[in-house]
């Protein structure tokens, strides 16, 4: 069965950096799209970034463009989210997700598998 496990969250000051990891297992992910989403208390789940496993095409939400970078390591079956210039508004639980069909998509309902989430807190 497909499993996604996030790690790397924590507490940082505004302007700092974190790198989140998503360890994927249960099958090969060629042909999949991998995404990062986040959700703050009382708010809708928000698209952050996506990457096609094959070819590596990427897309970013407007609020993180120029600050966050999504990437993958095929040897480790791991997807990363490098977060720089963090702001208090970035505080949320961050989720890794996978879509079977390999298109760049931005809606949570289109993703088939989800990790448990990792907390990111940015202090002012």
* Phi, psi values for residue 56, rounded to 5°: 80, 20
Distance from C-alpha of 38 to C-alpha of 53, rounded to nearest angstrom: 20
pLDDT at residue number 44 = 96
The stretch 96-121 carries a mean pLDDT of 93
Residues 6+ apart with CB under 8 A from 5: 22, 23, 25, 96, 115, 116
Residues 6+ apart with CB under 8 A from 73: 79, 80
Lowest mean pLDDT among 13-22, 41-50, 104-113: 104-113
pLDDT at residue number 123 = 97
Are the C-beta atoms of 80 and 72 separated by less than 8 Å? yes
Q: Check whether 70 has a pLDDT greater than 90.
A: yes
pLDDT at residue number 105 = 80
How much is the mean pLDDT over the chain?
A: 95
Q: Band of the pLDDT at 104, cuts 50, 70, 90?
A: confident
The stretch 96-124 carries a mean pLDDT of 93
pLDDT at residue number 103 = 80
Q: Band of the pLDDT at 15, cuts 50, 70, 90?
A: very high
């Amino acid at each position: 069965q497909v499993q996604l496990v996030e790690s790397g969250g924590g507490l940082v000051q505004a302007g700092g950096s974190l790198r989140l990891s998503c360890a994927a297992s249960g099958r090969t992910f060629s042909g999949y799209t991998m995404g990062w989403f986040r959700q703050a208390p009382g708010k809708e789940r928000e698209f952050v970034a996506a990457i096609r496993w094959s070819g590596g095409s990427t897309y970013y939400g407007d609020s993180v463009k120029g600050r966050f970078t999504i990437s993958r390591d095929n040897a480790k079956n791991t997807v990363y989210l490098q977060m720089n210039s963090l702001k208090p508004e970035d505080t949320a639980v961050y989720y890794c997700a996978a879509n079977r069909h390999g298109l760049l998509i931005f809606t949570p309902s289109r993703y088939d598998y989800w990790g448990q989430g990792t907390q990111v807190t940015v202090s002012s």
